[in-house]
Amino acid sequence: MSLYENDWLYDLVHEKPADGEDLAFYERMIERYGQPVLELACGTGNYVVTLAAKKVDMAGLDNSSQMLGAAERKSCEARVESNLIHADMRDFDLGQTFKLIFVAGNSFQHLNDVNDVRATLRSVRRHMDADARFIVEVFNPSLELLVRDPRERYFVGEYRTDDGWIVINENVFYDAATQINHVKWHYRNQYAKEESTVEFTMRQYFPQELDYLFASNGFRIEEKYGDFDEQEFTSKSPRQIVVAGKP
């Protein structure tokens, strides 16, 4: 089973606190660059619902109907109207433009090859105002993590639920030829013997490669941060956060 067919597990690991530094970063970007805002690969709507509740003119797009269903439920619980769109970020046409478009939570790494990236960037450009910005957030690849033994299981975390603690461990296999990290999460309730597994992939984008992909597909990188505090990107930064505009 794919992780993205399992929205409750995704939220258990990825749901953001209302005052997290990542949310604060995107709020600053919205204040700096304006509205309306489009989030691509919005998942279960953690950003979309939170920002819509703060009166941001916000839309969210995702290719998974199950994830969007979870986002719709969150919208109802929060009593906010969320503009949720079922579409593929590699090929969408919304008939409008935006001041800010972003891909958060490393979701850009689900684009597995250069053709996927090119298609996504073309779609994004069609939906940008002349002075709009596009923000992408991905990991800064760690060779130490990528070369771990695929036969071993590594601890991911413990997460509290109404039924007890969910324990997650993972196997990872990095294919250097494709730059794709294949991940299996094994999870179970701490009181249960039965275990379940979900899978997902994460394409690794190395710093110079990422910059080139933007520059060669009609974007101008204005800023590249190493984390949500807006410090300059360095080789030791945990993230690559690219802020790009049209030339």
Say if residues 66 and 5 touch (Cβ distance below 8 Å).
yes
Question: pLDDT tens digits for 62-81?
Answer: 999 999 999 999 999 999 98
Over residues 21-48, mean pLDDT: 96
Assign 14 a pLDDT band (cuts: 50, 70, 90). Answer: confident
Pairing state between β 58-62 and 83-86: parallel
Q: At residue 94, does pLDDT exceed 70? A: yes
Say if residues 37 and 99 touch (Cβ distance below 8 Å).
yes
Q: Which homologous superfamily is 3-141+206-245 in?
A: Vaccinia Virus protein VP39 (3.40.50.150)
Read off the tokens for 48.
Answer: 């979309």
Q: Where are the domains of the chain?
A: 3-141+206-245, 143-203
Which residue is associated with the tokens 């990542």?
22
